Structure 1
Amino acid sequence: MSDRSAPYHISSAVIVTMPHMRERVVGSLLEMPNVEVYAHEAGKIVVVIEGTSTGMLGESLSRISTLEGVVAANMVFEHVETQGEVGHDRRTDAA
């Protein structure tokens, strides 16, 4: 049983690729655990990375940055929730 009060980290990142390598990089990202490709166009890819710690997110981002064809991989945003909050459809932004 997991601890429902444990932190859960969600981040977004922008991956810049050599344009001719984008599809190959997208394919590699689709195979990575806890990484979801959100959008891609030209030489840029937006991903969401999830994990139980900032270190786990950083590790995923480091692996992404070493993929062939990747020029840069930068975290844009990180949000922390507790395990009990994950999966709820509740807005946290101003209406």
Structure 2
Amino acid sequence: MAEKRPYHISSAIVVVRTEMREQVQARLALMDGVEVHAAEGGKIVVVIEGGSTGALGGTLSEMALLDGVVAANMVFEHIELEETIGNDK
């Protein structure tokens, strides 16, 4: 029997020191569930994917702690119900 579980997707803006943008962008691209979509000046646009709002918040907090990051702000969150097949117990 198929189950539906929530899957969270969020966009965020990461504000960085301009001279460190490329370094921060590279570190963001290595984070699980994170895709870098644009970078210009002192701003980087990312999409974060995960299993819960808490997971997205945790990832956003990790971003905020990176060297060169001034702020990391969630812009939008969307929740999809992902269908899973059966129960693997």
After TM superposition, the score normalised by the length of structure 1 is 0.84
**Residues 4 and 82, structure 1, Cα contact 8 Å, conserved in 2:** no
State the distance in 2 between where 1:74 and 1:20 align.
20
Q: Equivalent residue of 2:47, what SS?
A: strand
**Which residue number in structure 1 is paired with residue 86 of structure 2?**
none
**Which residue number in structure 2 is paired with residue 53 of structure 1?**
52
**Which residue number in structure 2 is paired with residue 23 of structure 1?**
22
**What is the root-mean-square deviation of aligned Cα atoms in Å?**
1.0
State the distance in 2 between where 1:19 and 1:4 align.
45
1:3-27 superposed Cα distances (whole Å, 9 cap, x missing partner): 6410000000000000000000001
Q: Equivalent residue of 2:4, what SS?
A: coil
1:28-79 superposed Cα distances (whole Å, 9 cap, x missing partner): 0011000000100011000000000000000000000000000000000000
Displacement of 1:83: 1.0
| Identity over aligned pairs, percent | 59
State the distance in 2 between where 1:72 and 1:42 align.
14
Runs of at least 4 residues off by over 4 Å: none
State the distance in 2 between where 1:30 and 1:73 align.
15
Higher relative contact order (CA 8 A, sep 6+): 2
- Give structure 1 stretches of 5+ with no counterpart: 85-95
After TM superposition, the score normalised by the length of structure 2 is 0.89
State the distance in 2 between where 1:83 and 1:29 align.
25
In structure 2, what residue type is equivalent to 1:67?
A: L
